[in-house]
Amino acid sequence: MLPIYLAMLEGDEEKNKFESLYVTYRKLMFYVANRILNDESLAEDAVHQAFVKILENFDKVGEISCHKTKSYVVTIVRNAAINMYNRRKRHSTVPIEEAAFYIAEEKLERTDDLDYLAEAVLKLPAIYKDALKLKYVQGFSNAETAKMLDISEAAVRKRLERAKRMLEEILGREESTDDM
């Protein structure tokens, strides 16, 4: 598949950069997709869809071996896989708890206010974390985020709104239990 992706790019520098991204993250992307779909051929399709989305926004990819790029790549493939899972089930949807079950996130220690907020964000369902990451960590606009997640701009705004409300509730609850 790599030659097909490379044909979509112009210039040797871009091709080399994409090849490096492909080699670095394809196995991780397959692993993430396969954990959600439990089907290797569907997982390969999800990885392909993710690479196509990454190519559409390749000018925004910075350094290949950095946390920001890894987070971006995993977010895109996770959403592609979840969308495929939803389509496969036709009328049933993936419960947020089930989608979150497949996504292992590291727990951060509470050492300062930023860690406290990060810990609260980790408690959010995956669809809200993804919207927050793309908007506030990766710096994408609502329109770009909507395109990457394959949802409408209104849905992005709603997810961000709900994520903020949920964070307020989580932080409020934890604050009240810390006071006891």
Per-residue pLDDT tens digits for 64-92: 888 888 999 999 999 999 888 888 775 45
Express each pLDDT in 12-31 by its tens digit.
888 888 889 889 999 999 99
Do 85 and 22 share a structural domain? yes
Mean pLDDT of the 129-143 span: 86
Q: Residue 52 sits in which domain range? A: 1-104
In a shared domain, residues 86 and 150:
no
Q: Indicate if 75 and 138 belong to the same structural domain.
A: no
* Same structural domain, 99 and 138: no
Query: Does position 161 have pLDDT exceeding 70, yes or no?
Result: yes
Please, which pLDDT band fits residue 106 given cuts at 50, 70 and 90?
Answer: very low
CA 180 – CA 175 distance, rounded (Å): 9
Position 95 scores a pLDDT of 56
Work out the pLDDT band at 171, boundaries 50, 70, 90: confident
**What is the band of 32 on the pLDDT scale with cuts at 50, 70, 90?**
very high
Do 81 and 169 lie in one domain? The reply is no
Residue in this structure with the two tokens 């690479």, named with its chain if needed:
51
For residue 177, what is the domain's CATH number? 1.10.10.10
User: Quick check: 111 pLDDT over 90?
Assistant: no
Residue 136: predicted pLDDT:
82
Regarding whether 5 and 88 lie in a shared domain, the answer is yes
Residue 180 confidence (pLDDT) above 80: no
Say if residue 116's pLDDT is above 60.
yes
Domain final residue pick, 49, 84, 104 = 104
Residues 98 and 23 in one domain: yes
Residue 126 pLDDT class (50, 70, 90 cuts): confident
Same structural domain, 116 and 97 = no
Query: Is residue 35 located within the same domain as residue 66?
Result: yes
pLDDT for 175 beyond 70: no
Q: How far is the C-alpha of 161 from the C-alpha of 132, rounded, in Å?
A: 10
CA dist 127 and 93 (Å) reads: 13
Query: Which pLDDT does position 109 carry in this prediction?
Result: 38
Of the residues 83, 104, 125, the one at which a domain ends: 104
The per-residue b/e assignment along 130-162, b for 16 or more CB within 10 angstroms, e otherwise, is: bbbbbbeebebebebbbbbbebeeebbeebbee
Cβ 79 vs Cβ 148: under 8 Å: yes
97 with 118, same domain?
Answer: no
The two structure tokens encoding residue 2 = 């790599």
The mean predicted confidence, pLDDT, of the chain is: 80
Domain-terminating residue out of 79, 104, 129: 104
**Number of domains within the chain:** 2
Which pTM was predicted?
Answer: 0.57
- Do 97 and 174 fall into the same domain? no
Distance of CA 26 to the CA centre of its chain: 15
